[in-house]
Amino acid sequence: MKHITPKEVESFLKQNQSLNIIDVREVEEVATGKIPGAWNIPLGLLEFRMHELDKTKEYILICRSGTRSARATELLEGHGFSVTNMMGGMLVWEGIIK
C-alpha cells in the first residue's frame, strides 16, 4: 500500500497540482470541513460506486484518522485502481478546509 503524508498533499495543492482526492468519511463528518476539491464517497458506499472512478487516474484516499482510508485503499487496489492512503487523516491535516 502506498502512503502519502498530509504535508505532501498540502504541498501538491499549494503548487496547484491536480489531485484526485476521495474522502471516505461519512457525509456528516465531511459537513464539518473537507479538503477543497475532495470527492466524498463514504467507505460503506465505495464498493457500489467504484464504477464512477477511472482506472487511468491516481487517487488519494483520506478519512478522519487514516484507518478507513487504508481499508478503502486495499479495496480499490484489489480492483486494479492506483491509490494512495493519506496517513493520519484529517486529524493531522493542517491545510485549508472548506
CB burial class (10 A; 0-12, 13-18, 19+) of residue 44? exposed
Give domain status of residue 9, yes or no: yes
- Closest by alpha carbon to 83, among 68, 66, 61? 61
Which residues are CB-neighbours of 45 under 8 A, at least 6 positions away? none
- Closest by alpha carbon to 63, among 8, 36, 23, 94? 23
Average pLDDT over residues 63-89: 98
**Residue 89 pLDDT class (50, 70, 90 cuts):** very high
Domain with 57 in it: what CATH number?
3.40.250.10
How far is Cα 8 from Cα 52, in angstroms, rounded to an integer?
A: 26
Give domain status of residue 30, yes or no: yes
Give domain status of residue 48, yes or no: yes
Number of domains in the chain: 1
Residue 19 annotated as catalytic: no
Q: What is the per-residue pLDDT for 32? A: 93
Give domain status of residue 83, yes or no: yes
Give domain status of residue 96, yes or no: no
> Which tens digit of pLDDT belongs to each residue from 40-70?
999 999 999 999 999 999 999 999 999 999 9
Choosing from 9, 38, 61, 63, the catalytic residue is 63
Give domain status of residue 98, yes or no: no
Give domain status of residue 97, yes or no: no
What is the residue range of 67's domain?
A: 2-91
> Which tens digit of pLDDT belongs to each residue from 12-40?
999 999 999 999 999 999 999 999 999 99
